[in-house]
Amino acid sequence: MVEFRIHDEHTAPQEVAPALEHAKRNFGFVPNLYGVFAESPQAFNGYQALSEQFQNTSLSTQAKHVVWLAASRQNSCHYCMAVHSAMAQQAGVDTDTIEAVRTDKPIPDESLEAVRRFTQAVIAHQGFVPEDETQAFLAAGYGQRQILDIVLGVAMKTLSNYTNHFANTPVDDAFQEHTWNT
């Protein structure tokens, strides 16, 4: 197995060191995923750009967290499941919703359940989502924009989930209580 270095603001390539310093000011530490991504400034910056754009999508805050969690679960990413469980909790997503996604159970809120199912379908079918599943998503009150917004979220999580698979990124101490195993 290849061992990936987890950079900090002192060891990172010059192009991303200021961003890691900024992350340390915001979080109080450099998240391990950022430290891994720092090895490639382009991967780091690409992830940051996807993240920023996903934050600006038409999806509600709760729906964004469901996308992050559902994609991370579908991709079996231990690191992102812990981080996004903590972030969802901090954002006020109810515990039942978080736990439903973590355990692959239906979310009681039908609108959020539609987001969970569609996100999983996008990944499971590699974008070739069966028509009946797409129509069910649309019937839940979503449109073409939300389809593309979810695809953006899936792209963001695929980049981080796969990176974590390669690097076997350790869960940061701040997220340990949300550790998840497949």
Task: Give yes or no for residue 161 having a pLDDT over 80.
Answer: yes
Determine the pLDDT at residue 155.
98
Residue 142's SS3 state is coil
Domain boundaries, the chain: 59-178
> What does residue 108 show for φ and ψ, rounded to 5 degrees?
-55, -35
pLDDT at 69 over 80: yes
The rounded Cα 135 to chain-centroid distance in angstroms is 25
Interval 73-104: pLDDT, tens: 999 999 999 999 999 999 999 999 999 999 99
With a threshold of 0.85, does the pTM exceed it?
yes
pLDDT of residue 32: 98
Model pLDDT, residue 114: 98
Contacts of 168 (CB under 8 A, 6+ apart): 1, 4
Q: Which CATH superfamily is domain 59-178 in?
A: AhpD-like (1.20.1290.10)
Residue 1 above 80 pLDDT?
no
> Mean pLDDT in the chain?
97
For range 173-178, the mean pLDDT: 97
Where residue 181 falls among pLDDT bands split at 50, 70, 90?
confident
Report pLDDT for 2: 84
